[in-house]
Amino acid sequence: MRLVGLCESGTHAVCAAALGPYASSERELAEGLLGVLAEGTLCLADRGIYSFERFEKASNTGAQLLWRVSSKLGLPRERTLEDGSYLTHVCKDNHGRARRHARQARVIEYRLDDPALTQDDQRYRLLTTILDPEQAPASELAALYPERWEIESMLDELKTHQRGPRAVLRSKHPDGVYQEAYGYLCTHYAIRRLMHDAALKADLDPDRLSFTRSVRAARRSTRNGAGLSPPRPRRRT
C-alpha cells in the first residue's frame, strides 16, 4: 500500500490522506489531496510533486504554495527582486516560454553548505505563489521550507511507534487493509489532538511533547479504564 498525506507541520496532525496500491504513484495520489487546501494556508511540497497542472489546481484553491522544483525546469528570470528572488511565469507549454494559460510565480534559489550532500541535493529551487518579497522575504521562505520534513517524522510516529515494529496490517484483502490503515490514521489524529490540547494548557509548543510517551500513556489509560455498561431500557408503568 502507498500513502500520501497532508500534514500540519506544527502539530503533525494528518488533515487528509490518499491511499492506493503500492503500484500507484505519489503524484497520482496527491491529485486527490489538492482540493483539501484552502485560503489562509501555506502548502509545502517536495520536488517530486510538481507539475503545471497540479500547481495550477492547488493555486486555484486560494492556498499559498511553496514547492520545491527541479533545477532542470525552465523558469525564465523576468524581473529580479530586491531579496534576490525573481518573478517568472509557469505554463503547460514549455514551462513559461509560451504565455498561453501562464501563471505568474516567484522563484527562490539557494545552496546548502553541507559536504554530506551531493551537489544536486545542495541546490534548492523553490516556486511560490507569494509574489511580494516584503510579505515573505526569500530568506524567511528558505528557512521555512525544511518544515516540510515534519511529515517524515509523522510517518515514523505512525509506522514505528504507534503500530509497533513487529505489527503488520492483518487483513488479507485490499478493502480490509485500507480500513485498518484509516483506523491507524484516526488513532494518530486522536493522540495528536490530546497532545495539542495538553500543550496549549501547559503553554508549550506541541513539538516539545514526546509522541512515544503520549502513546504509552494512552495505552495505559485504555487498559485501566473501566468499561461502560450498555444503557438499560426504561421501565414503563
pLDDT of residue 90: 92
pLDDT of residue 172: 85
Q: Alpha-carbon distance 5 to 14, whole Å?
A: 7
pLDDT of residue 144: 95
Number of other CB atoms surrounding residue 121 within 10 Å: 10
Stretch 89-118: mean pLDDT? 74
Stretch 130-151: mean pLDDT? 95
User: Does the pLDDT value for residue 142 go beyond 80?
Assistant: yes
Stretch 114-140: mean pLDDT? 86
Stretch 77-101: mean pLDDT? 79
Stretch 93-106: mean pLDDT? 67
User: Does the pLDDT value for residue 96 go beyond 50?
Assistant: no
User: Does the pLDDT value for residue 97 go beyond 70?
Assistant: no
pTM recorded for the entire structure: 0.84
Stretch 85-104: mean pLDDT? 74
Report percent pLDDT > 90 for the chain.
68
Kind plus residue range of the DSSP H or E element containing 27: helix 26-30
Bridge partner residues of 7 (DSSP): 14
pLDDT of residue 26: 93
187 vs 122 pLDDT, higher one: 187
pLDDT band at 219, cuts 50/70/90? confident
User: Does the pLDDT value for residue 27 go beyond 50?
Assistant: yes
Lowest-confidence region among 43-52, 65-74, 114-123, 146-155: 114-123
CA dihedral 75, 79, 80, 85 (to 10 degrees): -50
Phi, psi of 64 (to 5 degrees): -90, 145
Kind plus residue range of the DSSP H or E element containing 67: strand 64-68
pLDDT of residue 220: 86
DSSP letter for each residue of 107-132: EEEEE---TTS-HHHHEEEEEES---
Q: Yes or no: say if 70 and 121 are a contact pair by the CB < 8 Å rule.
A: no
pLDDT of residue 75: 92
133 vs 93 pLDDT, higher one: 133
Q: Alpha-carbon distance 121 to 111, whole Å?
A: 9
Helix (H, G, I), strand (E, B) or coil at 88: strand
Helix (H, G, I), strand (E, B) or coil at 201: helix
Q: How wide is the angle at C-alpha 148 spanned by C-alphas 142 and 153, nearest 5°?
A: 140
CA 203 to chain centre: 25
Instruction: Output the nine-digit C-alpha cell for 53.
Output: 497542472
Stretch 93-118: mean pLDDT? 73
